[in-house]
Structure 1
């Protein structure tokens, strides 16, 4: 049985000097711990502000905060492949559904995108309030599913603003209902890894899913022009709802990269291509970390 998991915003457990110390949970997490009825002697999983993993034993409680001791410490896991989802704004609670379930799958970042065919239009206070709600859902889903980190969730942005984030990505996969049947997701992932000489474990791949009604052709053109490894992909002949595609597409990409219990078969082929000189110049895989803060500063 997995341990209850908590993320700390401002506490680095390796800096604690006492054998027993308070676990400085956020007010919401402290309420969650109370709901779980955690008792003395129970163990919890903790990801601290330095992204290190600790298993802690509850010794006592003080002012509603658990007093704990460290039972086990592991260094932060390697980042591994990272998949960002650019999701067209959708009606009702569909965005919440996508963020919740795609977080469980392993998506590390979300960009809500205001598209030409988006029925929902958000600005000002509404956008900020929605973003806070989405971030809370991402955190809850990460805690529930045992993710090593909480996904980043940006405020809604235009297609052009979103495309500017993707210049250094290993690949940009644009899911479009008008993509040819030959535009297979697997081929796009493998081709990008080979051309950029990127191991699957280091890949940074962006997946784009449109809103209800799909992406407009000019939006597709903007996205395809943002990165040399941007390409159209099809998810097959079935017509998927936007909230279904927003979960299925990144899950397929993560599977291709060796996630979800899969072992990627294309690393050996890519290595062979490097050795044979088929691929000439390496391209650095870009990280998604910190991008949203930069974009927010530009938009102020």
Structure 2
């Protein structure tokens, strides 16, 4: 059975001098621990501010704060690649759905894209609060799924800022319903095939349009912003944006060795 998992924003467990010490959980995580009805003697997994991974035993509670001791150092599951999902802003709770499930899969970064055909509009006043909400969802999904790396969610970007952000990626996968059927994912990932995870993580961006799709000028601009940008087809079916936002990064992670790909015959 997997252990309940928590992330620490500032505390580094290796710096703790005492054998037993309070765990500096955020207010929301402390509430989550209370909901789980954790008790003395139970064990939890903790990813600290230094991205170190520990198993801790709860010794007692001081109010709502767990007092713990370190039971052992855990090996974090290595990432197959650093995958960034550029998701066209979608209406309703679709963004939350995509961020939650893509985090569970192992996506490392999210860039909400304010595309020209996005129905959802986020003004400057609401951008920070929306991003904070999405970041909290990513954290909750990582805790629930046992991901040991916390995904970063950026504030929504328009095309000009997105082009700059995508320029440094090793590959950019542009999912477009008008891409020719010959535009295969395996071909688009060739620029990262020589990058060994033992050396560094390949950085791959996956771009998915909003409900109305991507405009031609957006497709042209994204393909031009990186020499390793390629359009791909996700098949003959026209997928909903929230479906494509989950399927596309899953396929990329699988091709790069994640999601059990190493177990293929």
Scaled by the length of structure 1, the TM-score of the pair is: 0.84
SS of residue paired to 2:136: helix
SS of residue paired to 2:262: coil
Aligned to 1:135: 135
Work out the CA distance in 2 between the residues paired with 1:79 and 1:238: 30
Q: What is the Cα deviation at residue 166 of structure 1?
A: 1.6
Work out the CA distance in 1 between the residues paired with 2:92 and 2:125: 17
Q: What is the Cα deviation at residue 263 of structure 1?
A: 2.2
Work out the CA distance in 2 between the residues paired with 1:245 and 1:76: 28
Root mean square deviation of aligned Cα:
1.5
User: Which runs of 5 or more residues in structure 2 are unaligned?
Assistant: none
Aligned to 1:199: 196
Count residues in correspondence: 262
Q: Does 1:242 align with 2:241?
A: yes
Q: What is the Cα deviation at residue 42 of structure 1?
A: 0.2
Contact 1:89/1:118, CA 8 A, preserved across alignment: yes
200-209 or 253-262: bigger deviation: 200-209
Work out the CA distance in 1 between the residues paired with 2:207 and 2:65: 41
Question: CA 1:150–1:31 in structure 2 vs 1: closer, same or farther (change >3 Å)?
Answer: same
Which deviations, in whole Å up to 9, do the C-alpha atoms of 1:70-100 show, x marking residues without a partner? 0011366655411000000001000000000
Q: What is the Cα deviation at residue 253 of structure 1?
A: 0.1
Aligned to 1:297: none
164-173 or 99-108: bigger deviation: 164-173
Q: Does 1:36 align with 2:41?
A: no
Work out the CA distance in 1 between the residues paired with 2:254 and 2:80: 13
Scaled by the length of structure 2, the TM-score of the pair is: 0.95
Work out the CA distance in 1 between the residues paired with 2:197 and 2:53: 24
Q: What is the Cα deviation at residue 247 of structure 1?
A: 0.2
Q: What is the Cα deviation at residue 170 of structure 1?
A: 1.1
User: Which runs of 5 or more residues in structure 1 are unaligned?
Assistant: 266-300
Moved over 3 A (4+): 74-80
Q: What is the Cα deviation at residue 216 of structure 1?
A: 0.2
Aligned to 1:104: 104
SS of residue paired to 1:104: helix
